[in-house]
């Protein structure tokens, strides 16, 4: 009874809701209720692919897995915003393949069998994805089948699970590429080019025309008051071209931004503190702890070669290049202070080839026995023997790590760059104890280990508070709506930025990046609303207002009529001008006389072709088309073009042989390659894939 009482107390509200929904089902159509609940739950979906909802939770798990794979590939757990975006794109593409492309391929009868996958991964038909992967390369950088098989056989010996995760990723990539290649071949193989098409292409490209013409330019800037575009004409054009007005959801906004900058007091305070800490920086024996506590840039064992520190600071680079030891003066660049201390100078290669035996959980005696064994036998023999002895316990792993650089590095292996070639030694990392052998090095260069003391001046609390007060004063004055916002901007003398068609994926506003908070507010509010102060990056305060809302789907006539109006006006203007020219030159059949009548000159164009591959893009398309069909030697009627009215005469045609059958076939092959690139986008469009990632990331 006590348990039942707890359930009643803790879940009473939930039970009440369930009962209420049950009662509502008698008076509300269940399908309507189901749609409403789905709409509510869809707000937590990253997207929908081929009818399958992709939840935020599932997608986040995919992103986390892809991030781990990226960490394995790069050797770094830190990622830039650009890299994070690439990882999310890769996770999304994987979902598109899983829920859409794989099903479409299966429906078409296309598949990749088990035997085929075996041949592509470890058999006699190795996929380019594997063949080009540095992990499976030998000491010379060439693909090694033996190394591939060795790595695959030792997957279960990797207690971290990283090798299994990466191999699964590689296999999935191989499968996806092979399936897509086979599916795309269906289209390539069906793209048959018959002899007549080839013949027409050759003729069109080899036939050129020489033409004389007179043109009367249209002036789009001088409005003709006699030409009007009616609402019915706008509507007729809109209905005929509606497919061209498909749009993403967007907002037209205005915003003001208050930037928080360090004051002179802030700068002076950091300058004094930095100067006081210089003595400790120059003398301490524990630079790692000092920099961790006091510097924006932490200690690194990286070996810098000449020029690499320019990206940090030009003065630091100059000091390091001129000194093999010692501590620099204090340098300032903008709001950042720098100092450098040269720790060591040595001849260091750019890359080294590393072999290892991983001794997970092995005793010191076992480590010593492996080192002693290496004195009398080759590394490969000892590694193989140790692996055979330990494989059942799953605490041994051997093999070539491969070429390592300072940017492609297992944490803890930094010492390999100064290690003696051919002499094994012990390295301890987070993965365990390693017996390491550097077997090969590239040419050594003079490099230096440098500790950089760096501190950026940040605005103090007092400075930030003062700037926030300005932003808040504006927000309070603008709170009444768009009119109040405009009045506040005028009264307080702040600049209001206008930004049309902001989409949900937008993250930047002018020079301010990572401003997703602003976009989220815009898409969560209604037209005319003015925001409170929105803080971005601890450096900017935004106040925004929504001028207009454009819903996803097809733009309304009101939204696009001002785009349509100049098109219809231009057509009418061109037709009117052509009629006027016709009247002016009535009875004339000589281009020179026509030019004098129109107050212009005769122009010429040689070797004009109708081919899209060979035509001059600077010419009016309507003019090119008319020339292609006109008889030789006859003055044309006035042609209403896009940018001018033309009167022309074809003076001759020539047929060459510069465009061959091979050119025609190559053009078709290029077209087929382009079509293959559109397979996935067309599938996504047909399946009405909804990508809502911008709401969350």
Taking only the tens place, the pLDDT of each residue in 340-395 is 999 999 999 999 999 888 877 667 788 888 888 777 667 767 766 665 444 433 33
Note the pLDDT of residue 430: 81
457 vs 269: CA distance, rounded Å: 9
Note the pLDDT of residue 195: 81
pLDDT-flagged residues of the chain (< 70):
1-42, 220, 361-362, 376-377, 380, 383-399, 611-618
Quote the DSSP letter at residue 636: P
Quote the DSSP letter at residue 643: S
Instruction: Mention every residue, 6+ apart, whose C-beta is less than 8 A from residue 146.
Output: none
- Helical (H) or strand (E) element with 380: helix 379-390
Residue 493: is it exposed, middle or buried by C-beta count within 10 angstroms (0-12/13-18/19+)? exposed
- Residue by residue, DSSP assigns 597-627 as HHT---EEEEEE---TTTS-TTS-HHHHHHH
368 vs 389: CA distance, rounded Å: 16
Pairing of strands 534-536, 303-304: unpaired
183 vs 187: CA distance, rounded Å: 7
212 vs 591: CA distance, rounded Å: 8
Residue 341: is it exposed, middle or buried by C-beta count within 10 angstroms (0-12/13-18/19+)? buried
How many CA atoms lie less than 13 Å away from 110 in the CB half-sphere?
A: 19
- Helical (H) or strand (E) element with 648: strand 644-655
How many CA atoms lie less than 13 Å away from 396 in the CB half-sphere?
A: 20
Pairing of strands 497-503, 250-259: antiparallel
The helices-and-strands tally (H runs, E runs) of the chain is 24, 22
- Please give the radius of gyration of the chain, using alpha carbons only, rounded to the nearest integer: 36
Give the domains, in start order, of the chain with CATH numbers: 1-42 (no CATH), 202-243+558-655 (3.10.50), 249-261+460-551 (3.10.50.40), 264-348 (no CATH), 351-442 (3.10.50.40)
Note the pLDDT of residue 506: 94
* Count of Cβ atoms closer than 10 Å to residue 552 Cβ: 12
Question: Which of 124, 174, 171 minimizes the C-alpha distance to 152?
Answer: 171
Pairing of strands 425-429, 534-536: unpaired
Note the pLDDT of residue 189: 79
Note the pLDDT of residue 401: 79
Note the pLDDT of residue 157: 80
Q: How far is CA 548 from CA 112, 315, 321, 553, in A?
A: 50, 50, 57, 16
Three-class DSSP labels, 420-436: CCCCCEEEEECCEEEEE
Give yes or no for a contact between 623 and 648, defined as CB atoms under 8 angstroms apart: yes
182 vs 189: CA distance, rounded Å: 10
* Count of Cβ atoms closer than 10 Å to residue 690 Cβ: 15
Q: How far is CA 116 from CA 104, 111, 148, 178, 287, in A?
A: 20, 10, 17, 9, 56
35 vs 660: CA distance, rounded Å: 60
Six-digit token string for 617: 């893009």
Rounded to the nearest 5 degrees, what angle is found at the Cα of 310, between the Cα atoms of 304 and 315? 105
Note the pLDDT of residue 376: 65
523 vs 405: CA distance, rounded Å: 45
529 vs 74: CA distance, rounded Å: 45
């Amino acid at each position: 009874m006590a348990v039942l009482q707890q359930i009643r107390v803790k879940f009473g509200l939930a039970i009440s809701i369930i009962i209420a929904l049950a009662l509502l089902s008698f008076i509300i159509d269940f399908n309507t209720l189901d749609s409403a609940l789905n709409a509510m739950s869809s707000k937590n979906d990253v997207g929908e692919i081929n009818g399958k909802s992709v939840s935020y939770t599932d997608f986040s798990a995919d992103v986390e897995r892809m991030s781990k794979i990226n960490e394995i590939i790069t050797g770094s757990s830190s990622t830039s915003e650009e890299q994070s975006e690439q990882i999310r794109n890769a996770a999304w593409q994987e979902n598109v393949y899983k829920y859409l492309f794989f099903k479409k391929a299966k429906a078409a009868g296309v598949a990749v069998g088990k035997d085929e996958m075996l041949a592509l991964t470890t058999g006699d038909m190795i996929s380019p994805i594997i063949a080009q992967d540095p992990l499976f390369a030998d000491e010379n950088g060439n693909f090694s089948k033996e190394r591939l098989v060795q790595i695959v056989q030792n997957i279960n010996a990797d207690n971290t699970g990283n090798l299994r995760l990466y191999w699964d990723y590689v296999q999935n990539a191989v499968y996806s590429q092979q399936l897509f290649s086979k599916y795309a071949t269906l289209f390539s193989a069906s793209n048959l080019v018959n002899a007549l098409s080839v013949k027409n292409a050759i003729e069109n490209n080899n036939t050129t025309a020489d033409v004389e013409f007179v043109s009367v330019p249209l002036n789009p800037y001088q409005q003709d008051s006699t030409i009007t575009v009616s609402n019915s004409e706008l509507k007729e054009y809109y209905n005929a071209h509606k497919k061209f007005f498909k749009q993403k959801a967007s907002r037209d906004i205005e915003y003001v931004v208050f930037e928080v900058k360090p004051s002179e007091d802030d700068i002076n305070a950091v300058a004094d503190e930095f100067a006081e800490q210089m003595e400790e920086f120059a003398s301490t024996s524990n630079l790692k702890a000092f920099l961790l506590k006091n510097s924006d840039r932490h200690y690194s064992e990286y070996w810098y070669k000449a020029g690499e520190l320019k990206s940090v600071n030009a003065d630091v680079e100059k000091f390091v290049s001129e000194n093999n030891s010692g501590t620099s003066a204090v340098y300032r660049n903008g709001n950042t202070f720098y100092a450098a201390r040269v720790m060591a100078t040595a001849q260091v290669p750019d890359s080294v080839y590393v072999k290892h035996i991983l001794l997970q959980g092995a005793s010191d005696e076992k480590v010593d026995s492996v080192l002693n064994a290496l004195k009398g036998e080759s590394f490969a023999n000892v590694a193989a023997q140790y692996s055979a002895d330990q494989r059942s316990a799953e605490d041994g792993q051997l093999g070539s790590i491969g070429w390592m650089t300072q940017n492609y590095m297992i944490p803890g292996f930094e010492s390999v760059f100064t290690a003696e070639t051919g002499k094994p030694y012990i390295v301890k990392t987070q993965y365990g104890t390693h017996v390491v052998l550097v077997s090969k090095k590239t040419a050594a260069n003079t490099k230096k280990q440098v500790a950089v003391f760096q501190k950026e001046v940040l605005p103090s609390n007092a400075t930030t508070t003062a700037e926030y007060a300005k932003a808040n004063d504006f927000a309070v004055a603008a709170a009444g709506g768009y009119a109040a916002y405009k009045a506040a901007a005028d009264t307080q003398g702040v600049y209001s930025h206008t930004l049309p068609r902001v989409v949900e994926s937008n993250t930047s506003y002018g020079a301010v990046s990572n401003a997703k908070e602003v976009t989220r507010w815009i898409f969560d509010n209604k037209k005319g609303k003015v925001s409170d102060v929105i803080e971005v990056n601890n450096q900017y305060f935004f106040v925004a207002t929504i001028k207009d809302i454009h819903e996803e789907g097809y733009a309304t006539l009101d939204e696009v009529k001002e785009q349509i109006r100049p098109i219809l006006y231009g057509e009418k203007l061109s037709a009117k001008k052509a009629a006027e020219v016709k009247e002016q030159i009535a009875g004339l059949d000589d281009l020179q006389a026509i030019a004098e009548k129109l107050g212009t000159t005769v122009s010429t164009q040689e070797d004009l072709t109708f081919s899209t591959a060979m035509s001059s893009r600077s010419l009016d398309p309507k003019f090119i088309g008319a020339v292609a069909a006109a008889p030789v030697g006859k003055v044309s009627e006035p042609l209403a073009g896009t940018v001018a009215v033309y009167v022309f005469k074809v003076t001759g045609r020539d047929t060459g042989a510069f465009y061959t059958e091979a050119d025609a076939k190559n053009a078709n092959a290029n077209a087929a390659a382009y079509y293959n690139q559109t397979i996935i986008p067309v599938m996504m469009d047909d399946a009405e894939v909804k990508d809502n990632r911008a709401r969350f990331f």
